[in-house]
Amino acid sequence: MHIIKTKAWQLGEKSVTDEKIYNERRRLMKMAAIAGAGAMVPFSLKASATYVPRALSFAPNKAYRDLSPTEYEKITTYNNFYEFSLSKEGPSKLAHTLIPEPWTIEISGEVEKPMTVDVAQILAKYPLEERIYRFRCVEGWSMVVPWIGFELSCLLKKAGLTSQSKFVQFQTKYDPQMFPEQKSEGFFGNIPFPYVEGLRIDEAMHPLTLLSVGLYGKTLPKQNGAPIRLVVPWKYGFKSIKSITKIHVSASMTRSTWNEVNPREYGFYSNVNPDVDHPRWSQAKERPLGEFFKQKTQHFNGYADEVSHLYTGMDLRKHF
């Protein structure tokens, strides 16, 4: 992101939201879920290079279904995933090397029960729900994504927090066979891999914070961070780390990749804020993917009522 480059959105794209098709699909999936008496499609335990997103059973969360999702095609072909490519179009073409099954997440550090959990087990144990969230990239584009997932707090509660559980760090799997750009430390050594991100514990435990395993009713496409990624809707998109394999709880503030690469431009908090510009561009407006006209950026990306209390008394210009 710190590399100066013409953004693909500057080329101008057509408006493509296709709500009718999506609503019909959701109606059918709801019927299928009822017919299947809640039986969830399990993740295969076999390694599958031929992985393709497949239908999940989930319950739509009524509180988060008012927005019109951006078209599936856009969400899955305009990506940031630097382990594969610097371009937005690269990840959807190059992420075939990622093998998302089987996959485990290690939970370590300041927890009562350090553990390694299989994503297949997670899917079997946690009821999945759909939440349609706004997603705002620090680069100035935005979209609306119908995520399928569960609250991160469910997993952290299972591991058991202690009085020393103050911050949480997430790490993307390190495997240059699967993520080829990890070999070259990403584009001329600019990005230290593995990609890491962090949250304060109250942010991690907030009910809006999801671990997502799917979108548009199906398991995650590889380029969107299969098999499991973070979604923190009130923060800039780079906090939503993909293909997570480690979660480490600690007493002190954790590392985060972009803050380390360029602390002047990317803060640890990275809450969406129209009043605090990026040093190289304004954050007052954003361009929804596929639309020509920009719209106003919302404080905390539209989730201020739910999250602004987390930052009471903090100078958000300083802690950007």
* Candidate list 9, 43, 51, 82; residue touching ligand MTE; CB under 6 A: 82
Chain length of the chain: 320
What's the min distance (Å) between Cβ of 74 and ligand MTE?
9
Q: Does 137 bind ligand MTE (CB under 6 A)?
A: yes
Q: Does 196 bind ligand MTE (CB under 6 A)?
A: no
* Candidate list 237, 267, 288, 290; residue touching ligand MTE; CB under 6 A: 237
Phi, psi at residue 147, to the nearest 5°?
-75, 150
For residue 60, give the nearest of 20, 35, 28 by alpha carbon.
Answer: 28
What's the min distance (Å) between Cβ of 160 and ligand MTE?
27
Q: Tokens 């430390």, residue?
A: 185
Measured from the CB atom, is 26 or 173 closer to ligand MTE? Answer: 173
Rounded Cα distance, 273 and 100, in Å: 34
Beta strands in 10-140 (DSSP E): 59-60, 104-109, 115-118, 129-136
How would you class 134 by CB atoms within 10 Å of its CB: exposed for 0-12, middle for 13-18, buried for 19 or more? buried
Q: Does 268 bind ligand MTE (CB under 6 A)?
A: no
Residue window 151-180: x/- pattern of binding to ligand MTE, with contact defined by CB under 6 A: ---------------------x--------
Q: Does 287 bind ligand MTE (CB under 6 A)?
A: no
Q: Does 79 bind ligand MTE (CB under 6 A)?
A: yes
Q: Does 85 bind ligand MTE (CB under 6 A)?
A: no
Q: Does 132 bind ligand MTE (CB under 6 A)?
A: no
Answer whether 220's CB lies under 8 Å from 101's CB.
no
Q: How many CA atoms lie within 13 A of 150 on its CB side?
A: 17
Please give the residue ranges that form the binding site for ligand MTE (CB under 6 A).
1, 79-83, 137, 172, 195, 224, 237-238, 240-243
